[in-house]
Structures are given as structure tokens and as C-alpha cells.
Chains A and B, each alone.
Chain A
Amino acid sequence: MIFSYEIPLLLLLLVTAAGAIMVKDLMSAVLLLGSYSFFLALVWAWLGAVDVAFVEAVIGAGLATVLFLLTLFRTAPKDTRLRRPPPSLTTLIIFPLLGVLLLYAANDLPEFGDPNSPASVHISPTYLERSYQDTHTPNVVTSVLMDYRSLDTMVETVVIFASGIACALLLRRKA
């Protein structure tokens, strides 16, 4: 199921990701990372995960870029290591091996959208069928997140709260 516009999308994803690593000026790296998040959001939307795409666009391309930029204003905007050391021999051996291993394992993954894959036969059909009559919520993602799995979401909220507190404790210290 490959259409013509997906290859350029994935290529742009790779190019922006590589660019963000390679570029010397950290400001450009941050902006490249923002555009990377935006292309990733397009990929999520293409795969049908619209909620994830929304979060990726808002957090990755919006909030994270602002946070990175504010951090850059307080620190050095240049990567001071002008010449990066070449990758060591271990890196050159281990990472291709890891890639081959991952590709080999990817063979056993279920087909995309396969109705008989383990993830879609266990409990997902129950949620899909009963979400509306249980909760009057047409968006099943929301009803799973906020109702069926509400405790998980609450602890995620605690994590966000804790991150804000940690930033305040670390950064709002009088010198």
C-alpha cells in the first residue's frame, strides 16, 4: 500500500533528522528538529493515528522548540566541538549488527492493519464496540484514555506535574 507521496515524506524525515545531528549551529539544529517533528506528525496522520499526530505537532514542533530556544539563549548557541571524533570501531561493528537484527525481527511483525494481529483481537474490539453506549464518547481514543484507563492517565499527569516542579526547583534558584 505505497502511494507516491509517502516516499518524499519519509525522505524528508530522514534528511531533517540527519541535518539536526550534523549541523554546527545549534539554533539551526533546533529548527530542523521542529520541522522533523512536523514531518513525523504527517507520517502519524498518514498511518491513521490522528491523536498522536496532533500531540506530535503541538509538542514537538511547538512547545519543545520554544523550550530548546530558551535554553539556547541561556547557554552557548554554537557547538564548540568543531571536529567531531570519528566513530570508534565498536560503534561501526555493533550498530549495523543491531540494524540487521531489528530488520530480521521486523519480519515477524503483523501486517499493518491486520485484523487478526494479537493487538486487535484481545481487548480492543470490546472498547470499540462498547465505547459509545458506555460513555457517550464517539472518540474511542479519548474514552480509553480518560475512562477505561483513567488511572494510568492520572499518573501521567502526576509525571507532568513532577517535571514542572523539578524544573522550578533546579532553575529558579537564587545565585
Chain B
Amino acid sequence: MIRPHDSIIVQTLGRFLIPVVQIFGLYVLFFGQYGPGGGFVGGVILGMGMILSVLIFGHEASRSQITKKILHADGVGMLIYAGVGGLCMIGGGEFLNYANLEIPGLEIASRRSLGIVLTQIGVAVDVAVTAVSIVFSLSAEEIIEDSING
């Protein structure tokens, strides 16, 4: 288990830095279509922000509660990704052929662009949850058991 860090410098900087890291992660995630980045990197940065909060404030802090709740989302990212593929099949096309997403008023290229955004969100959720989950597995098994069972 990880205890909160003693140094006030680390705590203050962490308080300031974690939101910045999270916003940068979201920026990388959604800017992936226009520049370097994308779902994988964005998800890792989002996960790193949450890991940072656990490393600085400890497992017990109220700031880490969201990180613990995130663990229940294991598999949601996969569900989003495969769900987009399934929606394409419902729309009458092949699996993951975004041109068949049934959204009225959008031309084919915009549908594919939307499909890319949705699947990137799926990848980001999956990667972020997995990163946090591995860090928790390595650091705090008792706490994990309590938070999931109780």
C-alpha cells in the first residue's frame, strides 16, 4: 500500500499538476486526428494522472477514490470499441466499417471520422483502466480486495 507523500512541495505541485496532466491527456486523445497522439497515448496520459494522484496522496485519500472506482470499468473500453463495430453491422455493413454507422445527416467521410473518434475513446478507456489496474495490482492487494468486495 502507498502512503501519502510527506513533502508539502510534492503535495502542492501534485494538486496543481494532476489536472493539467488530465487535460493534456484529453487534448492528446481528441487531437489525435490532427496531429501526433491518439487513443493509446491519450489513455496512458489519463491513466498516469490518476496513478500520480495515488502515488502522491496515497490510497486512502479522497482524491484517490475516483481512481479506485475507475477499476470497475475494466472491459468498458473493449465494449465501446466492439460496440461501434456492432453498430456498423446493425447499419448493414461489415464489422468496423464506420461508413455504415446509422447517423442521419452525415456524409460517409464524416461518419468514418466519427467512428475513429469513438473507437479512440474506447482504446483510451481500456488503456487507462489497464494502467491503473496494473499499478494497483503491484502496490495494494488488500485495499483492492476491500474496495471491490465491500
Contact = CB atoms under 8 A, between A and B. Distances in A.
Contact of B134 (A55, A147, A167): A167
Interface of B: 28, 32-41, 44-45, 47-48, 51, 55, 74-75, 77-78, 81-82, 85, 95-96, 98, 109-110, 112-113, 115-116, 119-120, 122-123, 126-127, 129-131, 133-135, 137-139, 141, 144-145
A110 B4 CA distance: 54
The A contact surface, by secondary structure, is helix
B38 A51 contact: yes
A17 to B, nearest CB: 23
A161 B77 contact: yes
Given A147-B115, A174-B145, A164 B35 contact: no
Interface stretch (A31-39, A78-86, A89-97, A129-137): A129-137
B129 A63 contact: no
A158 interface: yes
Nearest to B123: A157
Interface in A142-175: 142-143, 145-147, 150-151, 153-154, 157-158, 160-161, 163-165, 167-168, 170-174
A11 B4 CA distance: 39
Interface string A39-54: 0000000000011011
B119 A139 contact: no
A12 to B, nearest CB: 23
A146 B99 CA distance: 13
Nearest to B117: A146
